[in-house]
Structure 1
Amino acid sequence: MAETIQAEMAASVWKILVAQGDHVEEDDPMMILESMKMEIPVLAESTGTVLKVYVAEGDHITSGQPLFDVEAE
């Protein structure tokens, strides 16, 4: 079953650490956001495979915006 990981706050995408098809473990860092000069990691919510990446480095995102789809194992 796929789950969508959403942004918890408005921020800029500083670095994307995974790509479509990558395997992630629960709590693995998937992306680093930047907001007010702070780096905020986005962590995998479960073990699985990245199905889709919705954003690119440098994008400005809003709260609730989809970031990744992950197929949970």
Structure 2
Amino acid sequence: MQKIYSEVSGSIWKVEVVAGQTVAAGDVLMIVESMKMEIPVESPSAGTVRDLLVAEGEAVQDGQWLLSLD
């Protein structure tokens, strides 16, 4: 299992994946909005989305666990 963390504080603007979805390295998993900028959270490797721990509109902190990949 690989944990994906937020690199900035902000809010989840859009979630692009669902649990069980297969993703490739570089796919955008979600977008975090911070200071009116949209920061994509990309998959570091191929895998399957295991758990989504945040929802659209939710506030997140730098370093917060967002989702996990298998």
> Is 1:67 aligned to residue 38 of structure 2?
no
- For structure 2, the residue ranges without an aligned partner over 5 or more in a row are none
Q: Secondary structure at the match of 1:18?
A: coil
Q: Secondary structure at the match of 2:3?
A: strand
Aligned counterpart, 1:23? 22
Normalised to the residue count of structure 1, the TM-score between the two structures is 0.94
Q: How does 1:29-68 map to 2 (within 5 A)?
A: 29-68=28-67
- For structure 1, the residue ranges without an aligned partner over 5 or more in a row are none
Q: How does 1:2-13 map to 2 (within 5 A)?
A: 2-13=1-12
Query: Match of 2:33, as an amino acid?
Result: E
C-alpha separation in 1, matches of 2:39 and 2:7: 10
**Aligned-residue CA RMSD (Å):** 0.5
TM superposition shift of 1:39? 0.6
C-alpha separation in 2, matches of 1:65 and 1:36: 17
Query: Match of 1:62, as an amino acid?
Result: Q
